[in-house]
A = this chain, B = another copy of it.
Amino acid sequence: MGRLAEVTDLERTAMLLAWDQEVCMPRAAAPEHGELRATIGRLAHERFVDDRVAELLEAAEPRDETEADVVRVARRELDKARRVPGDLVAEITRAAAGARAAWLQARDADDFSRFAPFLERNVELRRELSACFPEAEHPYDPLLDDFEPGMRTADARAALERLRDGLVPLVASAADDDAGSDFGHGAPLPEAGQRALVRTVLGALGVDDDHWRLDEAAHPFSSGITPTDIRITTRYHETDLESLFSTLHEFGHGLYERQVEPGLWRTPLGHGASAAWHESQSRLWENMVGRSPGFWRWCLPHAQAALPDYFGGRTWQDVHREVNAVRRTLIRVSADEVTYCLHVVVRFELELALIEGELAVAGLPNAWNERMRDYLGVEVPDDRRGVLQDVHWSEGLFGYFPTYAIGNVIAGQLWERIGEELPDADERFAAGDFGSLREWLGEHVHRHGRRFMPDELLQRVVGGPLDPGPYLAYLERKLQASAQLMA
């Protein structure tokens, strides 16, 4: 147990280094900080995969349920880690560094061909990684498993196909690409007012300075350094409300880490259950809460006080309609709630085809543009706003994208359950009470950390397997309600 605690300390220190690099580090120090991060990351890996840990885990006689869970999870992770040769891990890291730099250049120059050879190499290396697990049913399985333990490609494909088939007609009928474009009359959103609003909202959500901090970052993220030290970031644009919604999103991630049972923090169980489970929490706070009628009935007076030019003279119904408008756009990270998962489906289908060898890297831009036309009905004018928009593939991250959509699916299932257990949730939000939801999530989801496999946790909380039905139904209900508010 001592060695596992050491490994988690190293991993959490690596998280702090990563946070520091985005938030504090003077920018010229990037190469030197890269060395520090590489050393800490390498030590975390080496101190975990060595024979001594395997022997200890083999011989372990757990004294209680927590130790039994720790041993089980650590054995699974260790087995996976030990089957990948160190040389391959090093080569993957090296290739990703080069590819990331090439991607930045290619994106700035809007020239996919500069990125293509690096992407080919990343795909090739992930296929080699996958080949370390010959028993896998599908070559994408071991990649997906890194983010979603136990999930098979077939499960993910079924869920995302169902989402796609439900969302394509919904978007086609509901999208109003000019909706609300006159909202706020183009009034600016001064940064000081946004900061005040974000602080008010976080205060109501239960965020205190003793355990949390909020900073600015070029790309908002959250970092649970320890369960008592939760750091979230946002960014302020004077033309939109992204600061508010990204804060709610990162709060959702942060709250998960904050509410993991304290005794788990120096074990491999001390984080959220999976990438999709994490995303379910961020999306739940960003969308189910942050775009609900109750939230805006409570928030509007605060928003009007902080940003009078923008919110003055508006009703909560106006705001609710505006923040739930469906618009067909090109960029995933700024997509609305209804179109968002279709952006993810495009990426999932394409990366699956790359790993299967069914699609060549050279054919990727065309395949991207076709799917954007078919699913979203938009024409992609250039690769910068198309296939080159996300960082993930440059970093060799394959298997991550589907977890964004599956997170929404889980959030939909949780929201249905919460509707049964806290039927007056919306009224509570209207009264500024977010504590009951926070506690419900703590009790049913957060405190368990990684004790359960993602599908087991879902079974425990909602009593069934992964099912996109509730999420699609939730979106349909919301679109109907918006239509009624407009009428």
State the A residues within 8 Å of B (CB): 5-6, 9-10, 12-13, 16-17, 20, 24-29, 31-33, 35-36, 39-40, 43, 209-213, 225-230, 265-266
User: Contacts of A209 on B, CB cut-off 8 Å?
Assistant: 26-27
Are A28 and B210 closer than 8 Å at their CB atoms?
yes
**Would you give the shortest CB distance from A192 to chain B, in whole angstroms?**
16
Q: A28-B228, A32-B229, A225-B29 are in contact. Are A43 and B212 (CB under 8 A)?
A: no
Are B213 and A26 closer than 8 Å at their CB atoms?
yes
Are A9 and B27 closer than 8 Å at their CB atoms?
no
User: Contacts of A12 on B, CB cut-off 8 Å?
Assistant: 36
Given contacts A12-B36, A16-B17, 16 further A-B contacts (CB under 8 A): A6-B39, A10-B43, A13-B17, A16-B16, A24-B24, A24-B213, A26-B209, A26-B211, A26-B212, A26-B229, A27-B209, A32-B225, A32-B227, A32-B228, A33-B226, A35-B266
User: Contacts of A10 on B, CB cut-off 8 Å?
Assistant: 39-40, 43
Are A35 and B9 closer than 8 Å at their CB atoms?
yes
User: Contacts of A31 on B, CB cut-off 8 Å?
Assistant: 228
Could you give 24 example pairs across A and B, Cβ below 8 Å? A6-B39, A9-B39, A9-B40, A12-B36, A13-B13, A13-B17, A13-B36, A13-B39, A13-B40, A20-B20, A24-B24, A24-B213, A26-B211, A27-B209, A29-B225, A29-B228, A29-B229, A31-B228, A32-B225, A32-B228, A32-B229, A32-B265, A33-B225, A33-B229
**Would you give the shortest CB distance from A18 to chain B, in whole angstroms?**
12
User: Contacts of A17 on B, CB cut-off 8 Å?
Assistant: 13, 16
User: Contacts of A40 on B, CB cut-off 8 Å?
Assistant: 9-10, 13
User: Contacts of A25 on B, CB cut-off 8 Å?
Assistant: 229
**Would you give the shortest CB distance from A280 to chain B, in whole angstroms?**
25
**Cα A13 to Cα B20 with chains together (Å):** 11
User: Contacts of A226 on B, CB cut-off 8 Å?
Assistant: 29, 32-33, 36
**Would you give the shortest CB distance from A386 to chain B, in whole angstroms?**
33
**Would you give the shortest CB distance from A315 to chain B, in whole angstroms?**
37
Identify the closest chain B residue to A230 (Cβ). Answer: B26
**Cα A226 to Cα B35 with chains together (Å):** 10
**Would you give the shortest CB distance from A306 to chain B, in whole angstroms?**
23
User: Contacts of A228 on B, CB cut-off 8 Å?
Assistant: 26, 28-29, 31-32
User: Contacts of A35 on B, CB cut-off 8 Å?
Assistant: 5, 9, 266
**Would you give the shortest CB distance from A50 to chain B, in whole angstroms?**
14
**Cα A271 to Cα B79 with chains together (Å):** 41
**Cα A331 to Cα B17 with chains together (Å):** 37
**Would you give the shortest CB distance from A378 to chain B, in whole angstroms?**
40
**Cα A142 to Cα B310 with chains together (Å):** 68
**Would you give the shortest CB distance from A138 to chain B, in whole angstroms?**
39
**Would you give the shortest CB distance from A211 to chain B, in whole angstroms?**
5
User: Contacts of A32 on B, CB cut-off 8 Å?
Assistant: 225-229, 265
**Cα A410 to Cα B27 with chains together (Å):** 34
User: Contacts of A265 on B, CB cut-off 8 Å?
Assistant: 32
User: Contacts of A229 on B, CB cut-off 8 Å?
Assistant: 25-26, 28-29, 32-33
Identify the closest chain B residue to A228 (Cβ). Answer: B29
